[in-house]
Amino acid sequence: MRRTLFLIWKELLELRQDPKLLRMLLLAPILQLTILGYAATTDVKNVPVVIADADRTPASRDLIERFEASPYFSIAGVVTTVDQIDPYLEQASAWMALSIPAGYGQAVGSGTPATVQVVADGTDANSTTVALGYATTLVATYARSLAGQPAASLSARSAAAGQGFSLARLGSFDPQVRVWFNPQLESKDFMIPGVLALLLLVMTAVLGSMGIVRERELGTLEQLNVTPLGRWQLIVGKLLPYGLIGAIDVFLVAAVAVFWFQVPLCGSFLLLFAMSMVYLLSTLGLGLFVSTISNTQQQAMMTAAFFVVMPMMFLSGFVFPIENMPALIQPLTYLIPLRYYLVIVRGIFLKGVGLETFWSEALELFVFGVAILSLAAARARKRAA
Amino acid sequence: MRKTLAVGRKEFHQIVRDRRTLSILLLAPVMFLLLYGYALNFDIKHVRLAVEDRDGTVESRALIAAFVNSGYFDLVASVREDRAIDHLMDRNEIRAALVIPEGTGRAINTGRTAGVQVLINGDNANTASAVMGYALAIVGSVSSNLLVEQRGVRLAPPVSAEPRIWYNPELKSALFLVPGLIAFIAMITGAVSTALSIVREKERGTWEQVRMAPIGTPAYIIGKTIPYVLISIASAMAIMLAAMALFDLPMRGSWLDLLLAVSLFLVGALGTGMFISTVSDSQLLAFQIVLIVAFLPTFILSGFIFPIASMPAPIRLVTYVVPARYFLVALRGIILKGIGAAMIWRELAALVIYATAALGLASIRLARERG
């Protein structure tokens, strides 16, 4: 026990000697969460639209105004012919084009169905789908308002269009949609706990991954090896000081999330803190494991970047929902501790649920942490022998 | 020039000796492209749905059938009471629930409107809004079918939108991911591989030798980066070829333009790594800075996954200094839209500035360190 304490003391002294690193470890998460928290939004807003208005009538301008007024779109330019939209889409200065054909105004005025074309850039598949949805909804709403207009032109309009007016009086389903946990459908509340988890991962996995290999590269591992320090003592002695830094980071990022971004913390903070500590077991454990299997810090860095941080970002459900992955890949995600932690943080933050709901995730997270630490300890002895 | 090559050769030998680093640099990118190319997509299907049918008539069953047959929803539970839905939602076992109250069938048959409730788990706002769209569309089409049956009317809206998608008509996720992954992987290999190069010499005590070496600082830096530029270009091209073979990625533009964009970005990334290396006192700190300055912004601030247009204005300004932002527009343009260098000259110019600035800053810093 005393030996472990000495090692912990030594680690803390070393950290104090590297003030740049210490500043980085404590300030970077705050700064990062503030910027990335704003950026990590899957909402689609202000989609730049170029409009090809071949009609140039009050009717076409009316439709364009609808697009202008919508928070989802911003007008990147208005041109006259369809082929003028090409450069906009090619240079990505517009993601979407609305093409209003000549004769549109006349058709609308006389009650004949008119079609406008919406062209979307498919290279960003996700935003495109959402933006197209908004555009078609906007046009449909606009059409309904035209059909409902009690103007004189209504009488001239076809009987079918008039039916739209009294649609509600026919036997039909009226869907009432209620969104739970996040009624405004803000992605902020969903993403910020994720960014928080990602930052904790980045801060701690790096510390762990350099922890032992650093001693090896500097030649001080030999010195540690001749001390009567056991393998578990070595791992725990590295784990605790890093864990302490991680614990401080948990406080800092949670404070930014709650006080700056106003993410509602529905559940208990104590539970959040306790579960974060369990999460740090596995992120530090993964780092330390990488450290024991690497010969140089460069190797450790490559391995940690490609095999720890990147899979955690992509396969944890942070942005890409796990349920969308092919059945073959899904089992792989069980090896990603962030997967469990995300369910837990989002549960505590957004739903205010407790251990009784996510005990299985908590258990899996804990088991993963202990297992990876044991692996690291086993490797550490092999190297020391 | 000769001295630069000598430094390059030395660095190259060092990389080749370190088998693991070399194989990670060359193979990991392709491996991860395969994994992520298959794994990641935003297409939302198989939404887990619970149904509470308190009506139990032909009409209510028809509505449920419409949900299940749409292909978007998987019926995972039929429940009798609201409490059960709470529980399933809390446990993440369902993402949506459909509640049909008693009397729905009667209301429909007597020509009245029947309210049905759709409950959606909103924790993932993006998925939730897609699910909401599906649900509304399904209920809408069932309703309009009823109208056609009952009254024989078909509604033609006065204006309708006809959607078209260019460049990626099937909206394949792989097509959108590949340019992003190339940028991401190029950033990591670039910045990660040089970030340790100078601080390592300092930490190991070989720094004095570097200081005394009879070679100019810029020449030294260029020599150090050349091997990594070559390796990273090889790995970026391997990603392209793998994506073309496996995911039917079209290569619509010119390879020369692609090579130009990739090289510029890589040189910038390597310069960034080098600069980080000169300002760090330990390899640990260098790694930390790389992740925070290069890794996370390339992931989150580049427009790779999160649309820049949706970010708040101050953050949009921040994205202008994220080089991956320009690189992504250039890559998507060249690979998917088939446009030439002339169309994306602004992005290429930004990358030239980035590469020069990164290498220049690294040289200045290093020259000062060498004294």
Longest dimension (CA), chain B: 95
Query: B306, A40: Cβ pair inside 8 Å?
Result: yes
Check if the beta carbon of residue A337 is closer than 8 Å to that of residue A311.
no
Question: What's residue A341's pLDDT?
Answer: 93
Query: A302, B192: Cβ pair inside 8 Å?
Result: yes
In this structure, what token pair is assigned to residue B178?
A: 């590949």
Say yes or no to pLDDT of A187 above 60: yes
Query: A210, B161: Cβ pair inside 8 Å?
Result: no
Which of A157-161, B177-181, B301-305, B320-324 bottoms out in mean pLDDT, i.e. has the lowest? A157-161
Give the residue from A305, A277, A278, A303 showing the smallest Cα distance to A292: A303
Average of per-residue pLDDT across A16-41 = 81
Report chain B residues whose CB lies below 8 A from the CB of A307.
Answer: 28
* B120-134 pLDDT tens trace: 887 777 677 778 878
Q: In chain A, where are the structural domains located?
A: 2-41+187-384, 47-169
Report the mean per-residue pLDDT for chain B: 83
> How many other CB atoms are found less than 10 A from the CB of residue B368?
10
Query: Rounded to 5 degrees, what are φ and ψ at A179?
Result: -100, 125
Report chain B residues whose CB lies below 8 A from the CB of A173.
Answer: 63, 104, 108, 113-116, 139, 142-143, 146
Count how many residues are written for chain B: 371
Say yes or no to pLDDT of A300 above 70: yes
**What single string gives the DSSP state of each residue in A315-383?**
HSSSSS-GGGS-TTTGGGGGG-HHHHHHHHHHIIIII---HHHHHHHHHHHHHHHHHHHHHHHHHHHHH
Count how many residues are written for chain A: 385
Question: What's residue A299's pLDDT?
Answer: 85
* A111-124 pLDDT tens trace: 788 888 888 887 77
Instruction: Using pLDDT thresholds of 50, 70 and 90, give the confidence band for residue A156.
Output: very low
Query: B38, A178: Cβ pair inside 8 Å?
Result: no
Query: Rounded to 5 degrees, what are φ and ψ at B73?
Result: -115, 140
Report chain B residues whose CB lies below 8 A from the CB of A119.
Answer: 164-166
Which of A48-62, A236-250, A278-292, B216-230 bottoms out in mean pLDDT, i.e. has the lowest? B216-230
Mutation target to probe the B interface, by most B beta carbons within 10 A, among A62, A124, A338, A359 is A124
Instruction: Using pLDDT thresholds of 50, 70 and 90, give the confidence band for residue A170.
Output: very low
Q: Give the CA distances from residue B264 to residues A193, B83, B193, B258, B358, in Å, rounded to whole numbers and listed in that order.
A: 35, 59, 16, 10, 11
Domains recognised in chain B with CATH numbers: 20-40+171-370 (no CATH), 47-151 (3.40.1710.10)
Report the mean per-residue pLDDT for chain A: 81
CA distance to partner chain A, nearest, from residue B46 (Å):
8
Average of per-residue pLDDT across B74-97 = 86
Q: Which chain A residue is nearest to residue B198, measuring alpha carbons?
A: A298
Check if the beta carbon of residue B91 is closer than 8 Å to that of residue B66.
no
Range among A213-227, A269-283, A316-330 with highest mean pLDDT value? A269-283
Question: What's residue B152's pLDDT?
Answer: 61
Report chain B residues whose CB lies below 8 A from the CB of A314.
Answer: 36, 39-40
Distance of CA A82 to the CA centre of its chain: 36
Instruction: Using pLDDT thresholds of 50, 70 and 90, give the confidence band for residue A340.
Output: very high
Could you tell me which CATH number the domain at A47-169 has? 3.40.1710.10
CA distance to partner chain B, nearest, from residue A329 (Å):
6
> Which of B130, B164, B310 comes nearest A45 by C-beta?
B310
Say yes or no to pLDDT of A152 above 60: no
Distance of CA A4 to the CA centre of its chain: 38
Average of per-residue pLDDT across A75-93 = 87
Average of per-residue pLDDT across A157-175 = 45
Report chain A residues whose CB lies below 8 A from the CB of B123.
Answer: 181-182, 189-190, 346, 350-351
In this structure, what token pair is assigned to residue B341?
A: 């260098």
Say yes or no to pLDDT of A160 above 50: no
Instruction: Using pLDDT thresholds of 50, 70 and 90, give the confidence band for residue B151.
Output: low
CB pairs under 8 A between A and B: 409
CA distance to partner chain B, nearest, from residue A84 (Å):
14
